[in-house]
Structure 1
């Protein structure tokens, strides 16, 4: 299928599909006229990529995990899969803690500002 059809079937822009190809997440053959020709399974592959991106995984990790995907949210136990997932969870936990601290500081600042005497 041509890139426009893949885009229509997945809801992913042609530009992003080209990026996925450069990142070696999807693959196409070139027709005689130079157009990209994607296999039918590219639709499901793009859906898996989107699910893994939504889980916060970077494309460099997704490239390693894609061969292990069974469906959009399930991974087969390929070597290194759990290590990558645990590392990403650890990263997200740290980000969440940082955001919680920033949120608490912002709440304290708002409360202090609300309770402060107005400038005259």
Structure 2
């Protein structure tokens, strides 16, 4: 598929897809005319890359771990190093801390909303 179709199917801009390719996160074949051609595997790859970015990983870290993921791009699977596993575990722990912080923030916000509602109810009487 061409880059425009990959962008449409993955919900990611063509510009981002070009960036992913430049960072080694995505690989395209080239037609004789120089146009990018992607296999069906690319849709899942792009969605995974987006999820990893959303988790706070940078492109260097994503490039390190992509070969460990199971997708169907035809690239050889690499065995993760102990260092990579440690780094990814630290990233997961960071995300867990962020989730905890978000829950606490939501609890505070819920408390403020409840107090504000009570105050509004008191004014309406």
Question: Who is 1:44 aligned against?
Answer: 41
RMSD of aligned C-alpha atoms? 3.2
Structure 1 unaligned blocks of 5 or more: none
Q: Say if 1:11 and 1:110 are closer, same or farther in 2 by CA, change over 3 A.
A: closer
Question: Who is 1:118 aligned against?
Answer: 123
Higher share in helix: 2
Query: What's the CA shift for 1:57?
Result: 5.3
| Aligned counterparts, 1:1-120, within 5 A | 2-7=2-7, 12-28=12-28, 33=33, 35-38=34-37, 40=39, 43-54=40-51, 56=55, 58=57, 59-71=59-71, 77-79=79-81, 80-116=83-119, 117-118=122-123
**TM-score under structure 2 length normalisation:** 0.65
For 2:110 and 2:51, the matched residues in 1 are separated by 28
Superposed CA deviations along residues 98-119 of structure 1, whole A, max 9, x for unmatched, are 1111111111111222223439
- Equivalences, count: 114
For 1:5 and 1:113, the matched residues in 2 are separated by 48
**TM-score under structure 1 length normalisation:** 0.67
Superposed CA deviations along residues 52-98 of structure 1, whole A, max 9, x for unmatched, are 532525233211111222238xx864113422321221121111111
Contact 1:26 1:46 in 2 (8 A): no
Superposed CA deviations along residues 35-62 of structure 1, whole A, max 9, x for unmatched, are 343464xx42451342253252523321
Q: Say if 1:2 and 1:106 are closer, same or farther in 2 by CA, change over 3 A.
A: closer
